C-alpha cells in the first residue's frame, strides 16, 4: 500500500545537549525511516528536494546529515541513484530466497538458501521472521522470495514479507475426511499447515467420513479464498496401522510400491553368476568371511573377511554388495534408484531403494552363497596401522550370518575365558581388538562421540505397540562401524591420490560435514553452562574434545537426550557433495559413503567412480554429479523425517493405551510462548504442557534464560528441569500429545534470585481463546 502523502515523523529538532549515544540512535532511526520510505514508495524515482520536503529537512545542517545517510543507502545498494540524479528503491535490495517453516499459526520463519542468496548481503543468521498475514498464500515447505524490512519495524528481530512464491513445496497432502452433505473437509496431518482443505463433492473420490486420504491441492490459500483440493487416493480408515504407515509415506512423498516396469526389469535379471564374470574378479571365496547385521535385516550389504598373513600381519577384507553390476545406467532400475535415493526405515517395515529380488536376494550377502562384491582389502599390523591396501571387484562366499546379539555373545563369552565361546570367536575377537585401536586413533584426532538414543518397539501382529525400548550399542555394533568407516575413508583418499592434478583432483562423491558455527556453539555452551555443564571453546582446536567431555558428563543424566539433540542441531548437517571439505564429526580429511549401495544411491555413485579410476579413465566433470548429491541429501532428509514421524506415531499410540491417571517422570526439553515441551523419560516421547494449563499463575517467556516465569509468584520452569506429568490428551493422527503437570520437583518451583528477576523477560500476551481441538 502506497503512503506518499503520509509524512514521516519530523526529525528537525536541534541536537544540542544530546549524548553521543542519543545522536547515534537518532541517525540510525532516521536512516531506517529513509529506507522504509523507499520500500513503500516504489512507483517512481524522487528528486532530492522532494525527499528534503517530505522529511522536513529545511535546516542546512540537517540536510547535510540527510544527504550523508542517503549516500550510505546508495552504497549499501538499498537505494539507487539514476543517471538523471533521481533516487529510487532498489527492488533487489534485501531480497532473499528461502523456504517457509510455518512453526506457529501466527508467524513463520523463512530459512534462507545461502547459495541462491549469495549475491545479497550476508545475514548473521539464516532465517527471517514473517507474520502469517505477510506470507501471501505461501505454506510450509514453499520456496519464496522474501523482502527484509527495515530494522525499526522489527526492533531486534529481523522481519520480512513474502514477495513471490517461486516453487510449491507441497502439492500432495494427507489428512482425515470430515464428510458434509455437499462437500468434505480434510483435517491435515501436517501440523505446520493450519488450515483445513475444502473438497467439492465431485472430487471426494468416494471417500467416507473418517477416511485417511491423499489429496492434491487445486487452490492454494489466499486472504479471500480457502485451500481447495481433490482426493487422489483413499488410504483407509484413520487410526488403522496400515493406513497410518501409508499415510506417513504419502505425507513425505515417499513411494511404497515399485512401478511395474521396474519390477519386470528386476525379475528378468539372472541369478546365475557366470564363470567369465568370476574370472574377471579376485576370488576370495576360500577366505573366512561373515556378516553381522540386525536380527530383522534381510539386505546384508557388507561382510568382513579375516586371515593371518605369513609376516604376522592381518588381512581384513571389507566386502560390499556389487549393486552397480546389476543396476546399469539408462535402465528403469537406475531411474527408480535415483528417484528414491535411499531406503526408508519405519518402525515396522523397510521401504527399499531397490526391488526385493535385488535388495534381499541377488545383492544380499547371504551365507553359503557365492556373491559378487566390491572390496577394500587391508593389510593391518597389530596396532591397526595400514601396511597395504587393495581396491577392486571380488567374489566371496559368506560362512556365517551373525546377528549383532549373537556376535556380542561370542565376544562376551571370549572375554569370560570360555573355551567354546562360539563360531569364529578368534576372528571376532581379533576384529574387535583392531576396532578399539581404530576408534582410539579416531578420537585422538578429534572425532566427536555422539551417541543418540534410538527408540525401538515391540509390536503385535496388527502393528499395535506392546512396549518400547532404547537400542544399546555394544562392541559388535562398534566393530562393524569402525571397519565401514575405514573403508569409507580410504576409498576417497585412494581416488585423490590417483589425481594427476592435485589442484583439480579427481571428481568424487563425498560425505561432508562442515565445521560448526562458533557463534552457535558458544550460544549452546552458554546454555549448557546454565545447567551446570562447562565447555571450553576459547581455542577452536579443542571443540571436539570439549564436546566429547560434555557427552561423557551427560551420560545417565535425565537431560542427556535433550542436550545431545540440541548439540547435534548446533552442528552443521552432514550431506553429499563433490566439494572436498572433509568431515568434522569424524575428524576425517576425506570421507565418502561406499559401504551401503543396496540402500543408498550415493554409494552406487562411489562404486562407479572407483571403477572408473581403476580402469585408468580421466576424471568426469563435477557438474554431472553435484545435482545428484543435492537430490540424495534432500531424499535422505525426507526419509529421516518419515522415520521420526512413524516413531512419534507409535509413541503417541502407546501412550494413549496407558492409564490416564498414571504419573510419569519427565524433563523439560523446550520453552515457548505457548507452553512447555516435556519428554517422558521412560518412553522418550514428547508432549506439550499448554500455557492455559499452567493455571497457578500468569507465566511469561524469558527467552534469554530459556524459562517461563510466574508474574505473581516469580516461580519458573526452565529447560532441563525434571517434572512429573500426566497425559491429558492424545491425537494419534496428528502424532501429538498434551500433558499436564502432576507435580514439580523443588528445583523447578522456587523463587528467582533477586539479580535475575525481570532480567531478559519478554512479555507475551497469553492466548485468551481455547485452541480448537481436532479429533
Sign of CA dihedral 663, 664, 668, 673: negative
Domain assignment present for 740: yes
Rounded Cα–Cα distance for residues 578 and 625 (Å): 7
Domain assignment present for 584: no
Tell me which DSSP letter residue 583 carries. B
**Residue 147 belongs to domain with CATH number:** 2.40.50
Burial class for 755, CB neighbours closer than 10 Å (0-12, 13-18, 19+):
exposed
Same domain, 317 and 292: yes
Which of 39, 56, 89 is the endpoint of a domain? 89
Q: Where are the alpha helices (DSSP H) in 498-517?
A: none
**Residue 695 belongs to domain with CATH number:** 2.40.50.140
Collapsing DSSP states into helix, strand and coil, what is residue 751? coil
Q: Are 419 and 413 in contact (CB under 8 A)?
A: no
Count CA atoms within 13 Å of residue 241 on its CB side.
Answer: 14
What the block records as the C-alpha cell of 533 is 555443564
Same domain, 223 and 351: no
Residue 567's nearest CA partner among 575, 579, 559 is: 559
Residue 269's nearest CA partner among 324, 322, 327, 337 is: 327
Q: DSSP labels for 529-545?
A: HHTT-----SSGGGHHH
Q: If residue 399 lies in a helix (H) or strand (E), which one and from where to where?
A: none
Rounded Cα–Cα distance for residues 252 and 651 (Å): 19
Q: Break the chain down into helix, strand, coil percent, rounded to 5.
A: 30, 25, 40
Rounded Cα–Cα distance for residues 752 and 711 (Å): 11
Low-confidence stretches of the chain (pLDDT < 50) are 1-16, 116-124, 152-155, 745-775
Domain assignment present for 587: no
For Cα atoms 458, 459, 464, give the angle at the middle one, nearest 5 degrees.
135
Query: How many domains in the chain?
Result: 5
pLDDT of residue 114: 57
The pTM of the full predicted model, rounded to 2 decimals, is: 0.80
Residue 651's nearest CA partner among 349, 347, 250 is: 347
Q: If residue 195 lies in a helix (H) or strand (E), which one and from where to where?
A: none
Same domain, 436 and 292: yes
**Residue 50 belongs to domain with CATH number:** 1.10.10
**Residue 225 belongs to domain with CATH number:** 2.40.50.700
pLDDT of residue 156: 56
Q: If residue 67 lies in a helix (H) or strand (E), which one and from where to where?
A: helix 60-75
pLDDT of residue 525: 85
Rounded Cα–Cα distance for residues 720 and 666 (Å): 10
Same domain, 280 and 305: yes
Same domain, 161 and 177: no
Domain assignment present for 216: yes
Domain assignment present for 459: no
* Partner residues linked to 350 by β-bridges: 345
Q: Are 272 and 326 in contact (CB under 8 A)?
A: no
Which of 167, 197, 216 is the endpoint of a domain? 167
Strands 282-283 and 386-397: parallel
Exposed e or buried b for every residue in 342-352, given b needs 16+ CB within 10 A?
Answer: bbbbbbeebbb
Domain assignment present for 359: yes
User: Residue 357's domain spans which residues?
Assistant: 260-447
Collapsing DSSP states into helix, strand and coil, what is residue 450? coil
Which of 447, 472, 491 is the endpoint of a domain? 447
Alpha-carbon separation of residue 706 from 250, 396, 526, 641, 703 (angstroms): 36, 56, 11, 26, 5
pLDDT of residue 533: 86
Same domain, 79 and 107: no
Same domain, 31 and 141: no
Tell me which DSSP letter residue 746 carries. T
Q: Are 401 and 290 in contact (CB under 8 A)?
A: yes
Cell numbers 589442484 label which residue? 503
Q: Are 473 and 451 in contact (CB under 8 A)?
A: yes
Rounded Cα–Cα distance for residues 750 and 284 (Å): 68
Cell numbers 510450509 label which residue? 140
Same domain, 331 and 437: yes
Domain assignment present for 672: yes
What the block records as the C-alpha cell of 3 is 503512503
* Partner residues linked to 554 by β-bridges: none
Q: Are 584 and 515 in contact (CB under 8 A)?
A: yes
Same domain, 53 and 186: no
Q: Are 643 and 651 in contact (CB under 8 A)?
A: no
Q: Are 82 and 90 in contact (CB under 8 A)?
A: no
pLDDT of residue 150: 59
Same domain, 108 and 56: no
Chain centroid to CA 471: how far?
21
Same domain, 44 and 112: no
Same domain, 292 and 330: yes
Domain assignment present for 615: no
Amino acid at each position: 500500500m502506497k503512503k506518499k502523502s503520509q509524512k514521516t515523523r519530523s526529525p528537525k529538532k536541534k541536537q544540542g545537549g544530546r549524548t553521543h549515544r542519543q545522536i547515534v540512535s537518532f541517525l540510525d532511526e532516521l536512516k531506517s525511516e529513509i529506507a522504509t520510505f523507499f520500500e513503500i514508495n516504489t512507483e517512481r524515482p524522487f528528486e532530492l528536494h522532494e525527499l528534503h520536503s517530505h522529511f522536513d529537512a529545511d535546516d542546512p545542517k540537517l540536510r547535510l546529515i540527510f544527504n550523508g545517510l542517503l549516500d550510505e543507502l546508495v552504497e549499501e545498494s538499498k537505494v539507487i541513484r539514476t543517471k538523471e540524479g533521481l533516487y529510487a528503491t532498489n527492488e533487489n535490495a534485501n531480497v532473499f530466497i528461502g523456504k517457509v517453516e510455518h512453526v506457529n499459526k501466527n508467524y513463520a520463519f523463512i530459512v534462507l538458501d545461502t547459495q541462491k542468496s549469495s549475491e545479497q548481503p550476508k545475514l548473521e543468521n539464516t532465517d527471517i521472521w514473517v507474520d502469517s498475514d505477510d506470507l501471501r498464500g505461501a505454506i510450509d515447505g514453499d520456496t519464496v522470495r522474501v523482502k527484509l524490512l527495515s530494522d525499526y519495524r522489527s526492533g531486534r528481530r529481523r522481519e520480512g514479507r513474502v514477495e513471490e512464491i517461486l516453487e510449491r513445496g507441497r502439492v500432495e497432502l494427507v489428512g482425515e475426511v470430515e464428510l458434509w452433505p455437499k462437500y468434505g473437509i480434510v483435517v491435515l496431518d501436517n501440523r505446520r499447515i493450519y488450515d483445513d482443505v475444502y473438497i467439492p463433492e465431485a472430487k471426494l473420490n468416494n471417500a467416507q467420513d473418517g477416511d485417511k486420504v491423499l489429496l492434491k491441492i487445486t487452490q492454494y490459500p489466499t486472504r479471500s479464498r480457502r485451500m481447495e483440493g481433490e482426493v487422489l487416493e483413499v488410504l483407509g480408515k484413520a487410526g488403522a496401522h496400515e493406513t497410518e504407515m501409508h499415510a506417513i509415506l504419502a505425507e513425505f512423498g515417499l513411494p511404497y510400491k515399485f512401478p511395474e516396469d521396474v519390477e519386470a526389469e528386476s525379475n528378468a535379471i539372472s541369478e546365475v553368476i557366470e564363470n567369465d564374470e568370476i574370472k574377471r574378479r579376485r576370488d576370495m571365496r576360500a577366505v573366512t568371511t561373515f556378516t553381522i547385521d540386525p536380527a530383522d535385516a534381510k539386505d546384508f550389504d557388507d561382510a568382513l573377511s579375516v586371515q593371518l598373513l605369513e609376516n604376522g600381519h592381518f588381512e581384513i577384507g571389507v566386502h560390499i554388495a556389487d549393486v552397480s553390476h546389476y543396476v546399469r545406467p539408462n535402465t528403469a532400475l537406475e531411474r527408480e534408484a535415483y528417484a528414491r535415493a535411499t531406503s526408508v526405515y519405519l518402525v515396522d517395515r523397510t521401504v527399499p531403494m531397490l526391488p526385493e529380488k535385488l535388495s534381499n536376494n541377488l545383492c544380499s550377502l547371504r551365507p553359503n552363497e557365492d556373491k559378487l562384491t566390491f572390496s577394500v582389502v587391508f593389510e593391518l599390523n597389530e596396532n591397526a596401522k595400514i601396511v597395504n591396501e587393495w581396491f577392486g571387484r571380488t567374489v566371496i562366499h559368506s560362512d556365517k550370518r551373525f546377528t549383532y546379539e549373537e556376535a556380542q555373545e561370542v565376544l562376551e563369552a571370549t572375554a569370560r575365558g570360555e573355551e567354546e565361546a562360539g563360531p569364529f570367536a578368534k576372528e571376532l575377537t581379533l576384529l574387535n581388538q583392531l576396532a578399539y585401536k581404530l576408534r582410539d586413533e579416531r578420537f585422538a584426532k578429534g572425532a566427536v562421540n555422539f551417541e543418540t538414543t534410538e527408540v525401538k518397539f515391540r509390536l503385535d501382529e496388527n502393528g499395535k505397540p506392546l512396549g518400547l525400548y532404547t537400542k544399546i550399542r555394544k562392541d559388535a555394533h562398534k566393530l562393524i562401524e569402525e571397519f565401514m568407516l575405514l573403508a569409507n575413508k580410504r576409498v576417497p583418499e585412494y581416488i585423490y591420490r590417483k589425481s594427476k592434478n592435485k589442484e583439480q583432483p579427481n571428481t568424487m562423491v563425498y560425505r561432508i560435514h562442515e565445521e560448526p558455527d562458533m557463534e552457535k556453539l558458544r550460544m549452546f555452551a552458554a546454555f549448557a553452562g546454565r545447567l551446570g555443564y562447562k565447555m571450553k571453546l576459547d581455542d577452536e582446536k579443542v571443540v571436539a574434545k570439549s564436546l566429547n567431555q560434555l557427552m561423557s558428563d551427560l551420560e545417565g543424566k535425565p537431560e542427556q537426550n535433550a542436550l545431545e539433540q540440541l548439540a547435534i542441531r548446533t552442528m552443521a548437517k552432514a550431506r553429499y557433495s563433490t566439494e572436498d571439505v572433509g568431515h568434522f564429526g569424524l575428524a576425517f580429511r576425506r570421507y565418502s559413503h561406499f559401504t551401503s549401495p543396496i540402500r543408498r544411491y550415493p554409494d552406487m555413485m562411489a562404486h562407479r567412480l572407483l571403477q572408473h579410476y581403476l580402469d585408468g579413465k580421466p576424471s568426469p566433470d563435477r557438474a554431472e554429479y553435484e545435482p545428484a548429491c543435492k537430490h540424495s541429501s534432500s531424499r535422505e532428509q525426507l526419509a529421516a523425517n518419515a522415520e521420526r514421524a512413524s516413531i512419534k506415531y507409535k509413541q503417541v499410540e502407546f501412550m494413549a493405551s496407558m492409564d490416564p491417571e498414571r504419573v510419569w517422570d519427565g524433563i523439560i526439553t523446550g520453552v515457548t510462548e505457548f507452553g512447555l515441551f516435556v519428554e517422558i523419560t521412560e518412553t522418550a516421547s514428547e508432549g506439550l504442557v499448554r500455557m492455559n494449563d499452567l493455571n497457578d499463575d500468569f507465566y511469561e517467556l524469558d527467552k534469554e534464560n530459556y524459562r517461563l516465569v510466574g508474574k505473581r509468584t516469580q516461580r519458573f520452569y526452565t529447560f532441563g528441569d525434571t517434572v512429573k506429568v500426566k497425559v491429558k490428551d492424545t491425537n494419534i493422527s496428528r502424532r501429538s500429545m498434551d500433558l499436564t503437570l502432576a507435580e514439580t520437583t523443588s528445583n523447578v518451583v522456587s523463587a528467582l534470585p533477586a539479580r535475575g528477576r525481570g532480567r531478559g523477560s519478554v512479555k507475551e500476551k497469553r492466548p485468551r481463546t481455547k485452541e480448537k481441538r481436532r479429533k
